[in-house]
Structure 1
Amino acid sequence: MGRPLKFKTPKELRNKVEEYFKYCDNNKKPYTVPGIALYLNITPKTLRAYKNCTLKSIDNRDCEEYSEIMQEAYAKIEASYAEQLVDPTSKKNPIGLIFALKNMGWTDRQEIVTESKTIDIDLVD
């Protein structure tokens, strides 16, 4: 059994996550993964553990609920980065946004997959 959970119930976590986004909106602050971790008073590693459901002190039933809450938070943060990247009125440095999105699994390389097949052709005179 690991350390006691910072948030006793998924509802408590959800309320605190929603509070973070309201705080950012009211104070014109960007949504960020380090920002939400700081607001929740947990480390980024613990934040990922909630998201990936790898906390030892959590039962399987609640695990999915905690994970879903954090996945939604990550998705909201990711969407914010992506929207700022394509917003022509945004004054944000696109390099910072691209860096943040790459840290969330995005890539900017093109992958080309080729498939070769053998074809037999019988020529008739």
Structure 2
Amino acid sequence: MTTQLSPEQLAVVEDEGKKGRAAWKNGDLPTAEQHFLAAWNALPEPSLEQEYAQILSRGITTFYRDTKQFEKAKKWIETTRQAYGPGDPSVEFLAGTVAFESGDLDEAYRLFHPLYLKYADRPFEGHTKYLDFTRNRSHE
């Protein structure tokens, strides 16, 4: 069950997120990271039970993956798993992308293959490199 943020808390989360995205777009990764973490820290405890915990943790994981800060991405994928609950396919797909982009292809396959078996191409829509990798690895 999620707890709704107050209008004041929501304003802080949205403002920090907006500033973080602007800094990222401008290539200022340290400032972007600072704002994204400030948005997360604006969630009252227990933060994982708060509205926006899922989207913030997912966004922070994506930021770290896309900026090649893979150890941080791996830490945040665990937070994202906690926010979504066990076994969420979209989180497992995200974890697979982190593994793939970090060069851990065995782990990427371990995460992608069950999704491919269960859902076929669907989780991979718009992500052909991950689909091609999984298909090719399946045929080895």
If asked which structure has higher relative contact order (CA below 8 Å, sep 6+), I would say 1
TM-score (structure 2 length as normaliser): 0.38
Which structure's residues are more often helix, by fraction?
Answer: 2
Alignment TM-score, normalising by the size of structure 1: 0.41
